[in-house]
Chains A and B, each alone.
Chain A
């Protein structure tokens, strides 16, 4: 474990990613205690101000503090991503475990079903689900979860196919374990590490997707602060007040990239085939 951490810290990009991630998480968790402006409070006399000492990221068309909206928005965005991948990971892992373990009809049924999901353009799929459920934070979380589910299922199924041939699984049968216990105690714990690694990458996708859907007005509804919503609002004032679009977009971009880079670094680190040097 220590060796892994040391290797992780050797890589500059992964350190930087880690710092950004910790900063954004810190912002979401502790930021509201330090921010004196309410994200919904309007200052009609101070509309569309460029960044100043009072409003570090400026104010929007209603005179709301952009910095405070970004801080509160971090909570929404990070949480939306988290719930979304939790939905995707739990459903996908379950389906992957079952279909990898019981080859044959069950496997075919599940995997072909998931192939249908994968065959949809992912954006269309999300829009269809949101349209069915009505635009809200909950529906984008569900939509993203369902969209990511097949990826998890394929990943897990692949691991299960190799793990179930291991001798300790056979040994487990020999001591009289049930199928369900074999899945829970022998197979799942041994395929958890690829799930965790992929989750960091999928989390980046989930954040991007949540912001995108909110940008399009399908997710979080104004006036609630959310990075995608803020980007959408900022778009209208691009010519007079570019900072309105710049800051929320920057945060989406930085956070998503950081998780992506971290995921790549973790994968390189834990994949023994890449340790040739």
Chain B
């Protein structure tokens, strides 16, 4: 999608300066440290980062499912369709969950209730948000299963989750998620638990569904390959901050942040003649003992004096390309 068209696009989700803390036995952790993120209608946004950088927490905040305590949103607003999700009553957010915003998860095998047939589970989810009778619900279920490419849906609805393969279970989860025609689909590492061939099938399915059913999507992953295949825009997270976000092509062609560059370098390339794969030195810092200044400074190859003192803010360096790094401040 072109930038020009994007700007005219309506904003669907607008997260403004979201700060979220967790109180643990060892002390307070800032899991989200001022997130600013916009998601436009009909757009797929990839949220990329290492384990523990706050990707899933961002998604859970949108759903308002952060367990509190220990989690606490200190500050910030999450606008969805013009409403601040953090301020609406519980009954209303429950209608939005699964209705206007749906989610699919990493582990399909544990995301289905093991004691009920999958058909009944899909019908249950459909009836929560749509007033449909048993028969109509069943028809809709079969229809949804056909849409997610399930062979022989009439047989599948009478099966229990453990009788299905991981790929089929994930298709069921996708069917449940899409049954209410959500405005936003959050996919939290939808292919991580699947083997490579199934992964490819599920990705193809998501790409197919994007053409007509899925309107907007927030894809959370640590796999840049998946982002490249599916998303229009990418945001890279590091220890609770968004450190860079841009259009897909811009980000892949000219990554600015040293961390993003490191990530892209670490992907094996088919045509490259380099013998060694790139890597980012060091490990993710302990959220308890974050470094002074830029949180990435101990691992950064371009460390400067200012990086040790001042934490860089996210700023627009080129049109539509935001980065939080002192290298690009004038």
Contact = CB atoms under 8 A, between A and B. Distances in A.
A189 interface: yes
A174 B125 CA distance: 10
Contacts of A176: 94-99, 128-129
A185 interface: yes
Contacts of B94: 176-178
A190 B103 CA distance: 23
Contacts of A186: 113
Interface string B105-123: 1010011111110000000
Tell me what chain A mostly uses at the interface: helix, strand, loop, or mixed.
Answer: helix
A173 interface: yes
Nearest to B173: A171
A189 B112 CA distance: 13
Contact of B125 (A167, A175, A189): A175
B144 interface: no
A43 interface: no
Given A168-B110, A178-B94, A189-B116, A173 B65 contact: yes
A190 B115 contact: yes
B110 A185 contact: no
Interface in A132-168: 166-168
A175 B176 contact: yes
Nearest to B63: A174
Contacts of B97: 173-176
A171 B111 contact: yes
A189 B125 CA distance: 17
A172 B128 CA distance: 11
A170 interface: yes
B23 to A, nearest CB: 15
A239 to B, nearest CB: 57
B102 interface: yes
Contacts of B173: 171
B187 to A, nearest CB: 12
Interface residues of B, number: 26
B232 interface: no
A175 B102 contact: yes
Interface in B106-154: 107, 110-116, 124-125, 128-129
A124 B99 CA distance: 54
Nearest to A188: B115
A185 B123 CA distance: 13
Nearest to A168: B113
A167 B124 CA distance: 17
Nearest to B101: A174
A49 to B, nearest CB: 56
Contacts of B115: 189-190
Interface in A182-208: 185-186, 189-190
Nearest to B126: A175
Interface centre among A172, A174, A189, A190, by most chain B C-beta atoms within 10 angstroms, is A174
B98 A168 contact: no
A173 B177 CA distance: 12
A168 to B, nearest CB: 5
Among A168, A176, A185, max chain B CB count under 10 A is at A176
A178 B116 CA distance: 18
B110 A166 contact: yes
Given A173-B65, A175-B102, A190 B95 contact: no
Contact of B110 (A167, A172, A173, A175): A167
A190 B102 contact: no
B243 to A, nearest CB: 28
Interface string A43-78: 000000000000000000000000000000000000
Contacts of B95: 176
A25 B65 CA distance: 50
Given A167-B105, A167-B107, A185-B124, A174 B114 contact: no
Contacts of A178: 94
A190 B114 contact: yes
B98 A190 contact: no
8 cross-chain pairs, A with B, having the tightest CB-CB distances, nearest first? A175-B98, A176-B98, A176-B97, A167-B110, A189-B115, A171-B111, A174-B103, A176-B94
Given A166-B110, A176-B94, A190-B114, 11 more contacts: A168-B110, A171-B111, A171-B173, A175-B97, A175-B98, A175-B125, A175-B176, A178-B94, A185-B116, A189-B113, A190-B115
7 contacts: A168-B110, A168-B113, A171-B111, A174-B97, A175-B177, A178-B94, A185-B124
